[in-house]
A and B are shown apart, each in its own frame.
Chain A
Amino acid sequence: MSVNEKIVSDLVANDVQFVTTVPCKQLAGVIDAIDASSTIQHVPSNKEDEGMGLCAGAFMGGKRSAIIMQNTAIGVTINTLATLTQFYRLPLPMLISYRGELGEPVACQVEMAVHTKALLAQLNVPTYHFHKEDDVEEFDKILKYTFMCNKPVAILTDASFWKGY
């Protein structure tokens, strides 16, 4: 099973039925796999805070939701994470491409990469970092943990994990 298939299969096994995405090159494969899933409703959003709003609504409507996004968007979602997702205690798995790590060809991506973990730590968002392919084995447990504790939880996935892009 490919990494992309494993991620989607774990989402489905954990009853995640609503996924919003803002694309990143590293995430193209998993977004395709989301699209191919018959049980997941995929609603692309134009901005990640909008996506978190969609996820909040879907969750309150009875569908577990998740967001797939790039780490640069941590910068635009801090208010939403604090005043919506955390304030109302909504569970939200955030599968995040961790641009600006080893193997990154674009210098500007490093500028947000150096802030990514610090910002998530400042927000007290439980954060996991997938660096090797086998790390995906933890994804199922991370989803269960997210829906147990009703918090946004970040899964950072770097270029080594995705084997470049």
Chain B
Amino acid sequence: MIRSDILKDIAPVISDQLVICNIGLPSQELHMIDDQPSTFYMLGTMGLSSSIGLGLALAQDKKVIAIDGDGSVLTNFGTLPTIANNVADNFILLIVDNGSYGSTGDQPTYAGKKTSLTKVAIACGCENVVECSAEETKAELEKALAGNQMTIIVSKCESGNIPVPVITLDPVVIRHRFMETVSA
């Protein structure tokens, strides 16, 4: 399974949840598969999905799922200690770890080599870190949503992309409809 297969698989599970979706192909794929006003699509700013998600989770009570990638977590490595030390039990970080920079041409990341993001997250102090296969991701996400504990899911999948159109929604529209869902 590649990232878009995981997104298709989990779309029914996350459609009524607050989702922060990573820049580039992950946002474009999720937007094409199942556009929801409850999804905040990142049109820029690589690396900050987990930070935006944590800020959102700390500020209000609804569950928040931040969909991130291995390359983006590597770019913003400082996020893992911040997450570990500011526990928000309504926060789920889903790292789709395909070992490559998918949006830029599948160049390999260090997470696909010797670096284990699962072990890094644990070393940073994150207490509930689950590594799973692409096929297990939906079930792990359902489990995390049913529980009441901050969870980091590292979903190991294959590298690869599908053709998708860019998102032409205006950022202010994305932000406005997202905030209306948050406060509803």
Is B69's beta carbon under 8 Å from chain A?
no
> CB-CB < 8 A to A41: which residues of B?
58-59
> CB-CB < 8 A to B49: which residues of A?
53
Contact A58 B45 (CB under 8 A): no
Q: Interface range on chain A: under 10, 10 to 19, 20 to 34, or 35 or more?
A: 20 to 34
Contact A58 B48 (CB under 8 A): no
Residue from A44, A45, A53 with most neighbouring chain B CB atoms (10 Å): A53
Contact B171 A87 (CB under 8 A): yes
Q: Mark A16-47, 1 if CB is under 8 A from B, else 0.
A: 01100000000000000000000001011111
Q: How far is B15's CA from A21's CA once the two chains are assembled, in angstroms?
A: 34
Contact A83 B58 (CB under 8 A): no
Is A165's beta carbon under 8 Å from chain B?
no
Q: How far is B183's CA from A95's CA once the two chains are assembled, in angstroms?
A: 28
Q: How far is B81's CA from A63's CA once the two chains are assembled, in angstroms?
A: 22
> CB-CB < 8 A to A60: which residues of B?
40, 52, 55-56, 59, 175, 178-179, 182
Which residues in chain B, 142-177, are within 8 Å of chain A measured between CB atoms?
A: 171-172, 174-175
Closest to A82 in B: B44
Closest to B76 in A: A50
Which residues in chain A, 85-104, are within 8 Å of chain B measured between CB atoms?
A: 87-90
Given contacts A62-B60, A83-B43, A87-B43, are A53 and B52 in contact (CB under 8 A)?
Answer: yes
Contact A46 B82 (CB under 8 A): yes
> CB-CB < 8 A to B52: which residues of A?
53-54, 56-57, 60, 84
Which residues in chain B, 51-75, are within 8 Å of chain A measured between CB atoms?
A: 51-60
Given contacts A18-B59, A47-B78, A50-B76, are A84 and B44 in contact (CB under 8 A)?
Answer: yes
Q: Interface range on chain B: under 10, 10 to 19, 20 to 34, or 35 or more?
A: 20 to 34
The listed residue (A44, A46, A59, A84) touching B48 by CB distance below 8 A is: A84
Is B128's beta carbon under 8 Å from chain A?
no
Is B107's beta carbon under 8 Å from chain A?
no
Q: How far is B47's CA from A21's CA once the two chains are assembled, in angstroms?
A: 18
Q: How far is B114's CA from A16's CA once the two chains are assembled, in angstroms?
A: 42
Contact A57 B44 (CB under 8 A): no
Given contacts A60-B40, A61-B182, are A88 and B175 in contact (CB under 8 A)?
Answer: yes
Q: How far is B60's CA from A29's CA once the two chains are assembled, in angstroms?
A: 28
Residue from B40, B50, B58, B174 with most neighbouring chain A CB atoms (10 Å): B58
The listed residue (A46, A57, A79, A80) touching B55 by CB distance below 8 A is: A57
What are 12 A-B pairs with beta-carbon distances under 8 A?
A43-B86, A47-B76, A53-B47, A57-B51, A57-B59, A58-B56, A61-B182, A62-B182, A62-B183, A84-B52, A88-B172, A89-B175
Residues in chain A within 8 A of chain B (CB atoms): 17-18, 41, 43-47, 49-63, 65, 79-80, 82-84, 87-90
Residues in chain B within 8 A of chain A (CB atoms): 20, 40, 42-45, 47-60, 76, 78-79, 81-82, 86, 171-172, 174-175, 178-179, 182-183
